[in-house]
């Protein structure tokens, strides 16, 4: 049996230098995400979302990014889920992308707000029919007696809405407005490259190198 303490990897694929990185973190993210997609790694759009509850206990889960621009990073989910409840009480979150094959990590922090109803509607109606029915069928994060509950709910709502299920009022999008970014590139001998971008009062970004 392998001793997990002995598992090691040497990171040697690339480097991240201040002179070769973008001054705007959104442009740097755009470049790295496009490179991750082009490399055909599994689910390059998967990101971890971390929130904190009112009792100060943090929690994480993996969701899929659905959009990004100068306004922030967008994903969609059930507002009544654990993450939805935690964001309602504390509207700050952290995101993390880990592209293992590229030896890269991106961390993003900021305030979260719901996207407009129109934006949520537009994305919801672009989803496959089964996914739209599933948004009605799953009381996300609540205790259920078994998978049969989900199957029965899906059948009920499929029969009710047929081919045109509307967006549930408890389902929609969130947008994180970044005020801090960090880009991590693995390097040999654990001397990794870490560039942090901090938003300044005037809206500009301060780029700094952090020790690994």
Cα torsion 62, 63, 68, 73: sign: negative
Q: What is the C-alpha separation between 155 and 205, in angstroms, rounded?
A: 50
Q: Is 81 helix (H, G, I), strand (E, B) or coil?
A: coil
Q: What is the C-alpha separation between 45 and 37, in angstroms, rounded?
A: 8
Residue 57: active-site member: no
User: What are 156's two structure tokens?
Assistant: 């009920």
Cβ atoms 176, 110 nearer than 8 A: yes
Catalytic choice (71, 104, 190, 209): 190
Burial 13-49 (b: 16+ CB within 10 A, else e): eeebeeeebbeebbebbeebbeebeeeeeeebeebeb
Bridge partners (DSSP) listed for residue 77? 172
Q: What is the C-alpha separation between 30 and 199, in angstroms, rounded?
A: 18
User: What are 188's two structure tokens?
Assistant: 């040999």
Residues serving a catalytic function are 190
């Amino acid at each position: 049996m392998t001793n997990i303490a002995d598992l090691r990897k040497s990171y040697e694929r690339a480097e991240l230098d201040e002179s070769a990185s973008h001054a705007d973190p959104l442009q740097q993210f755009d470049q790295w995400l496009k490179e991750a997609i082009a490399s055909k790694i599994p689910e390059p759009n998967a990101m971890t979302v971390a929130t904190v509850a009112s009792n100060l206990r943090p929690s994480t889960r993996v969701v899929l990014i659905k959009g990004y621009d100068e306004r922030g990073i967008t994903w969609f989910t059930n507002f009544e889920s654990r993450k939805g409840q935690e964001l309602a009480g504390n509207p700050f979150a952290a995101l993390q992308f880990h592209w293992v094959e590229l030896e890269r990590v991106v961390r993003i922090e900021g305030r979260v707000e719901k996207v407009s109803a129109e934006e949520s509607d537009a994305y919801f109606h672009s989803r496959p029919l089964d996914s739209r029915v599933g948004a009605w069928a799953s009381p996300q994060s609540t205790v259920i007696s078994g998978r049969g509950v989900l199957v029965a709910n899906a059948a009920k709502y499929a029969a009710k809405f047929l081919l045109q299920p509307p967006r549930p009022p408890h389902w929609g999008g969130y947008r994180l407005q970044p005020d801090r970014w960090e880009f991590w590139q693995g390097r040999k001998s654990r001397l990794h490259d870490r560039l942090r971008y901090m938003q300044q009062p005037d809206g500009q970004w301060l780029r700094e190198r952090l020790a690994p």
